[in-house]
Amino acid sequence: MNNKTLLQFLKISSFFIFFGRAYQHLFWDAPYRSFFWDQKLLEPIINFVFDTTWQSYVTNLNTDYAIQILTRSIGILYVICAVISIAINENSKKWMGNVLTLGAVSLIFLALMITKDKFYHLIMFFEHTIQFGVPVALLYFLKDKNTSLLVFYLKIFIALTFTCHGMYAIGVFYPLPGDFVTMTLNILPIQEEMAKNLLFLAGILDFVIAIAIFIPKFSRPVLVYACFWGFITAFARIISGLHYDISLSIVHQYTYLMIYRLPHGMIPLLVYLYLTKKNSKKSVVSKSLASA
pLDDT of res. 74 = 98
Q: Are residues 49 and 79 in the same domain?
A: yes
Considering the domain boundaries, does residue 289 fall inside one?
no
The domain boundary residue, chosen from 99, 115, 144: 144
pLDDT of res. 280 = 83
Residue 176, sorted as left (phi over 0), alpha (psi -120 to 50) or beta, turns out to be: beta
Q: Are residues 60 and 80 in the same domain?
A: yes
Considering the domain boundaries, does residue 196 fall inside one?
yes
Q: Are residues 202 and 118 in the same domain?
A: no
pLDDT higher than threshold 70 for residue 284: no
Considering the domain boundaries, does residue 288 fall inside one?
no
pLDDT tens-digit series, residues 132-188: 999 999 999 999 989 999 999 999 999 999 999 999 999 888 899 999 999 999 999
Q: Are residues 157 and 276 in the same domain?
A: yes
pLDDT higher than threshold 70 for residue 67: yes
Q: What is the mean pLDDT of residues 228-238?
A: 96
Q: How confident is the prediction for the chain on average, in pLDDT? A: 94
Q: What is the mean pLDDT of residues 80-93?
A: 96
pLDDT higher than threshold 70 for residue 289: no
pLDDT higher than threshold 90 for residue 1: no
Q: Are residues 125 and 193 in the same domain?
A: no
The domain boundary residue, chosen from 126, 144, 162: 144
207-182-115-29 Cα dihedral, nearest 10 degrees: 140
| CB atoms near residue 91 (< 10 Å) | 6
pLDDT higher than threshold 90 for residue 286: no
Q: Which long-range contacts (CB under 8 A, 24 or more apart) does 196-199 make?
A: 196/171, 199/169, 199/170, 199/171
Answer whether 77's CB lies under 8 Å from 103's CB: yes
The domain boundary residue, chosen from 89, 113, 144: 144
High-pLDDT (> 70) share of the chain, %: 97
> How far is the C-alpha of 98 from the C-alpha of 10, rounded, in Å?
17
pLDDT tens-digit series, residues 5-20: 999 999 999 999 999 9
Residue 190, sorted as left (phi over 0), alpha (psi -120 to 50) or beta, turns out to be: beta
The CA distances from residue 202 to 220, 232, 261, in Å, are 18, 12, 17
pLDDT of res. 285 = 61
Considering the domain boundaries, does residue 23 fall inside one?
yes
> How far is the C-alpha of 74 from the C-alpha of 160, rounded, in Å?
26
Q: Are residues 134 and 231 in the same domain?
A: no
Q: Are residues 79 and 216 in the same domain?
A: no
Considering the domain boundaries, does residue 249 fall inside one?
yes
Considering the domain boundaries, does residue 292 fall inside one?
no
Considering the domain boundaries, does residue 290 fall inside one?
no
Q: Are residues 193 and 225 in the same domain?
A: yes
- Amino acid (1-letter code) at residue 128: H
Q: Are residues 177 and 246 in the same domain?
A: yes
pLDDT higher than threshold 80 for residue 80: yes
pLDDT of res. 292 = 60
Q: Are residues 91 and 202 in the same domain?
A: no
Residue 114's Cα: distance from chain center in Å? 12
Q: Are residues 178 and 113 in the same domain?
A: no
Q: Are residues 6 and 103 in the same domain?
A: yes
Considering the domain boundaries, does residue 291 fall inside one?
no
pLDDT tens-digit series, residues 92-139: 999 999 999 999 999 999 999 999 998 899 999 999 999 999 999 999
Structural domain harbouring 37? 1-144
pTM for this entry: 0.95
Which residues are CB-neighbours of 98 under 8 A, at least 6 positions away? none
Could you give the number of structural domains in the chain? 2
pLDDT tens-digit series, residues 33-61: 999 999 999 999 999 998 999 999 999 99
